[in-house]
Structure 1
């Protein structure tokens, strides 16, 4: 997974990475337009995205699942840390929002990771997951971090979240321009492709973007039903 970390750092410093951030930022700020006074956790590789809410949040931190590169990006205004995905070093119920990018598809223990996320997310908190789309071209390009790990379809991601006690509120695809630098340098062209892709091929974007909330009732046992039984012996009234 070290290669995935290095590729993400290199990718987001290139024009294609900058264009990717610009296109996905619109989806993210539409879902979360105002996080004033809230706590935010970025899990995976979220350094390019967390500054979208830098001036709003009360606290924000970027948590990597792998060691950072030898020369980390010192320009990032968001503090970073290294965590174990199965045991996040944060108190339970401490984050209002959690953003996961380049996390679920690269871990070998996805259920443990989502369970750990469930614990540190507040009961009314929300989670946004961005994963490579199995039907999209980006999942088949090993020159980008979206070509690493295991891609998901929308149905697979919904089921994965459901089994981890999350309720999916929205699930759609994004990032329709192919991963070529010239297209992402021309912002107007990439914007047109993005809008056309959503209208014509809504299931074929490069990534799946899902927003979910905690399913507080998913883990509760079903109420015990009344059972009937028959006595093997007759009960005789004493005289």
Structure 2
């Protein structure tokens, strides 16, 4: 079941959500430091993260799956969001340079089909980034977390899923080490907690952040070696000089 887009927007407009959005933007920016002249898209509720690229990317769009619902984004500027079928994106082949999935894959009943569609729209040198709830993190267990719904993944599970859909993982990390709290005192220490968590307990962040590139499957050619096949000829076809069963060779 998809989380309603209005509930996600309300969370990211709150103080805890603003802190979470800032930390997630930092994780994405660390992987994509420069998107100048790049065509960037987000699938799922990606607006809180992609806002970091406004005015920098050549083209920016937020694609909201139909099960989630749609909201206008940005609110007071030309609309960059659209309601889509996540398994049939309204984009041409190889039309996106950077694609972010967030609040998306964990809700889909067909994650492989979603990733194959992402593969289709990415350019050959494009990059995919996936942010999903971490199975080992607190954010997947606490109901007040926006990552508590849907299917959590471990880094290994996500890596395997990417491999299965012709993506080559480049890097994987976790983020959001501070539990989803509302205390302003604790939220004020979020950046410090993030640095300590990344260093000392990297496997226990609230979300898995994985970057991947397109992989191209080479055709597997099966070598057929010639082998001897002995065929017994009928007696009537044997020559007078043949003393045993006649044989001939052929390629299979």
Normalised by the size of structure 2, how large is the TM-score? Answer: 0.86
Q: Report the Cα offset of residue 232 of structure 1.
A: 2.0
Alignment correspondent of 2:235: none
* Residue aligning to 1:194: 194
The equivalences for 1:1-239 within 5 A come to 1=1, 3-66=3-66, 68=69, 74-75=75-76, 79-182=80-183, 186-187=187-188, 189-217=189-217, 220-233=218-231, 234-235=247-248
Contact 1:47 1:78 survives alignment (8 Å)? no
Question: Which stretches in structure 2 are left out of the alignment for 5+ residues?
Answer: 232-246
Q: Deviations over 1:87-143 (max 9, x none)?
A: 111000000000111010011110110000000000000011110000000001222
1:205 positional shift: 0.3
3-state SS of the aligned residue for 2:211?
strand
Aligned pairs, number: 233
Question: What is the distance in 2 between the residues matched to 1:122 and 1:69?
Answer: 26
Bigger Rg, structure 1 or 2 = 2
**Deviation at residue 186 of structure 1 after TM alignment:** 3.7
Residues 1:184 and 1:211: Cα distance change in structure 2 (over 3 Å): farther
**CA contact 2:107–2:150 (8 Å) conserved in 1:** yes
CA RMSD of aligned residues (A): 2.0
Write out per-residue CA displacement over residues 162-216 of structure 1, whole angstroms, 9 at most, x where no aligned residue. Answer: 00100000011111000002258743x1111111111111100000000000001
Segments of 5+ residues of structure 1 without an aligned counterpart are none
Deviates more, 1:2-11 or 1:117-126: 2-11
Structure-2 separation of matches of 1:78 and 1:211? 27
**Distance between the aligned counterparts of 1:159 and 1:2, measured in 2?**
23
Supply the distance in 2 between the matched residues of 1:124 and 1:113 (Cα, whole angstroms): 19
- TM-score computed with the length of structure 1 as normaliser: 0.91
Checking the alignment, whether the CA contact within 8 Å between 2:177 and 2:205 is kept in structure 1 is yes
Task: Give the Cα separation in 2 of the matches to 1:70 and 1:38.
Answer: 24
Q: Please give the alpha-carbon distance, in whole angstroms, between the structure 1 residues aligned to 2:96 and 2:219.
A: 26
